[in-house]
């Protein structure tokens, strides 16, 4: 579990420090500048990203099959999984250092692409190759993709699962989970997962079907960013982002489904605000936290009464439908999740600050770049795949979104990774945060900060 120091305390304190430092200095964390490079460097950056991503997937597979102690039944899993609760790997520190170095290289390569110009054909081919690698990835960093199949098989009874063992190859669910468990996901996701996997008779087929849908969602997000008018450099670092590919296609985390709804909600908020509110409700019915995380995208709606009424209706719809379908089973599952991880005081404070920042953005106040890293503290557990929770906050500010996408591979590896070591959190992370604060730039003039806070897009 990740509920004790330093697994939750240090990341929470680091996130708070970034936010407070940026707010008090009234400056924004500047995007680091890549050195000037030869004309062909951008294409080489793509090669670096693809190669490093393949290396990342190979390291994850090594960890999944060499972890010890390992129960014999785990060797029968169609896709091996790293057990996050107790990871012992041969040469573990060396492997963790290699994974961290690869992530740093990926973020630096994305920075090079952010500052360069790349032909669209190269971007599309690179994205296709990375999606292919993701779908064919031989291992997983969490059990979540299996749990989605678990929910799909149970359907709506996943909120009140029967105390009956799963038959055949699906008995893996019982062995891993230690018995039946209620789902913590929204009714719309459970229905979607059941629909996607129902035509595939084998466990492997169901897992691959979910990965394939995630790849489609990834492409829909890229199309949504284009519809929103995001510049080409941001779409490039989104299309070739190994951190996002790893977490949400290879590992199949279900956050891409609500993110699709929110990205397209941001794309149409100026012309169809009612549709945007509806898409926020859809996101919340996929995964409950997104009904809150998606609220900053309606800041573009200038009418305060319209924002109030739309937000109230969305919250009421999501709450009522979730309760009607999930009932007490859903509530008990969420409460149990919080009890299992029992977040410490630092994480509770960080989570409260994240809520303040969301409300502040909803009221059209100044947005902070560092706020994207504090959003995962709203969860009881801090895992690397929760860092995408900062993306909806960033959608209305191009510079914040670019900063988020470039830094994502490194940040997601440093915090909440399945194979991270104590030295990464207690040494590497504080050093990185300290350097970020020191090089964040001179304080901006009050007038400039005020004007930026009024802009919807950077």
**Among 16-25, 141-150, 250-259, which is the least confidently predicted range?**
16-25
- Which distant-in-sequence residues (6+ apart) come within 8 Å of 311 by Cβ? 277, 295, 298, 362
Position 443 scores a pLDDT of: 45
Geometric angle at alpha carbon 367, from 362 and 368, rounded to 5°: 140
The tokens for 347 are: 């994480």
8 A C-beta contact, residue 127 and residue 105: no
pLDDT higher than 90, residue 115: no
Position 405 scores a pLDDT of: 97
Mean pLDDT of the chain: 89
**How many percent of the chain have pLDDT more than 90?**
72
Express each pLDDT in 291-319 by its tens digit: 999 999 999 999 999 999 999 999 999 99
pLDDT higher than 90, residue 136: yes
Express each pLDDT in 65-74 by its tens digit: 988 888 888 8
Express each pLDDT in 337-386 by its tens digit: 888 888 889 999 999 999 999 999 999 999 999 999 999 999 988 899 99
Position 87 scores a pLDDT of: 63
> What's the CA gap between 16 and 351, in Å, rounded?
10
Task: Please give the average per-residue pLDDT across 4-16, as a whole number.
Answer: 81
pLDDT higher than 50, residue 44: yes
**How many percent of the chain have pLDDT more than 70?**
90
8 A C-beta contact, residue 456 and residue 299: yes
**Among 80-94, 135-149, 274-288, 410-424, which is the least confidently predicted range?**
80-94
pLDDT higher than 60, residue 126: yes
Task: Please give the average per-residue pLDDT across 96-105, as a whole number.
Answer: 94
pLDDT higher than 90, residue 143: yes
Task: Identify the sign of the CA torsion 360, 363, 365, 367.
Answer: positive
Position 84 scores a pLDDT of: 64
Which single residue is written with the structure tokens 């573990």?
Answer: 92
Position 172 scores a pLDDT of: 93
**Among 8-17, 80-89, 411-420, which is the least confidently predicted range?**
80-89
pLDDT higher than 60, residue 415: yes
Task: Please give the average per-residue pLDDT across 231-235, as a whole number.
Answer: 95
pLDDT higher than 80, residue 132: yes
Give residue 324's pLDDT band: very low, low, confident or very high (50, 70, 90): very high
**DSSP character for 401?**
H
Task: Please give the average per-residue pLDDT across 430-444, as a whole number.
Answer: 75
pLDDT higher than 50, residue 54: yes
The tokens for 33 are: 């500048």
Position 190 scores a pLDDT of: 96
Position 448 scores a pLDDT of: 37
Express each pLDDT in 189-212 by its tens digit: 999 999 999 999 999 999 999 999
8 A C-beta contact, residue 310 and residue 301: yes
């Amino acid at each position: 579990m990740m509920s004790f120091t330093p697994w939750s305390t240090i990341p929470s304190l680091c996130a708070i420090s970034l936010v407070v430092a940026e707010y008090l200095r009234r400056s924004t964390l500047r995007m680091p500048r890549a050195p000037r490079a030869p004309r062909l460097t951008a294409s080489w950056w793509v090669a670096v990203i693809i190669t490093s991503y393949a290396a990342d997937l190979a390291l994850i597979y090594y960890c999944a099959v060499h972890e010890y102690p390992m129960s014999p039944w785990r060797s029968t899993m169609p896709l091996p999984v790293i057990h996050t609760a107790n990871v012992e790997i041969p040469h573990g520190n060396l492997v963790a250092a290699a994974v961290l170095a690869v992530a740093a290289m990926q973020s630096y390569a994305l920075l090079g692409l952010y500052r360069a110009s790349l032909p669209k054909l190269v971007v599309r081919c690179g994205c296709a190759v990375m999606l292919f690698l993701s779908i064919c990835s031989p291992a997983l960093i969490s059990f979540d993709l299996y749990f989605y199949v678990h929910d799909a098989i149970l359907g709506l009874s996943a909120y009140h699962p029967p105390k009956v063992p799963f038959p055949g190859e699906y008995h893996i669910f019982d062995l891993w989970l230690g018995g039946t468990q209620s789902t913590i996901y929204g009714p719309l996701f459970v229905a979607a997962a059941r629909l996607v996997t129902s035509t595939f008779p084998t466990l492997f087929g169901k897992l691959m079907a979910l990965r394939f849908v995630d790849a489609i969602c990834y492409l829909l997000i890229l199309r949504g960013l284009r519809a929103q008018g995001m510049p080409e450099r941001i779409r490039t670092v989104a299309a070739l982002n190994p951190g996002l590919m790893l977490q949400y296609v290879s590992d199949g985390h279900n956050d891409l489904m609500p993110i699709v709804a929110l990205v397209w909600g941001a794309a149409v908020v100026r012309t169809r605000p009612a549709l945007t509110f509806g898409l926020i409700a859809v996101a919340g019915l996929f995964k409950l936290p997104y009904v809150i995380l998606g609220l900053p995208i309606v800041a573009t709606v200038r009418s305060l009464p319209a924002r109030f009424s739309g937000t109230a209706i969305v919250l009421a719809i999501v709450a009522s439908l979730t309760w009607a379908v999930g009932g007490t089973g859903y509530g008990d599952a969420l409460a149990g999740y919080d009890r299992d991880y029992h977040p410490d005081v630092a994480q509770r404070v960080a989570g409260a600050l994240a809520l303040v920042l969301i409300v502040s953005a909803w009221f059209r106040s100044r947005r902070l770049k560092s706020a994207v890293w504090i959003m995962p503290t709203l969860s009881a557990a801090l895992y690397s795949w929760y860092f995408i929770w900062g993306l909806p906050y960033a959608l209305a500010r191009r510079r914040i979104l670019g900063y988020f996408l470039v830094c994502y591979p490194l940040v997601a590896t440093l915090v909440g990774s399945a194979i991270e070591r104590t030295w990464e959190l207690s040494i590497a992370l504080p050093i990185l945060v300290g350097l970020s604060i020191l090089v964040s730039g001179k304080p901006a003039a009050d007038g400039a900060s005020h004007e930026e806070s009024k802009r919807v897009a950077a």
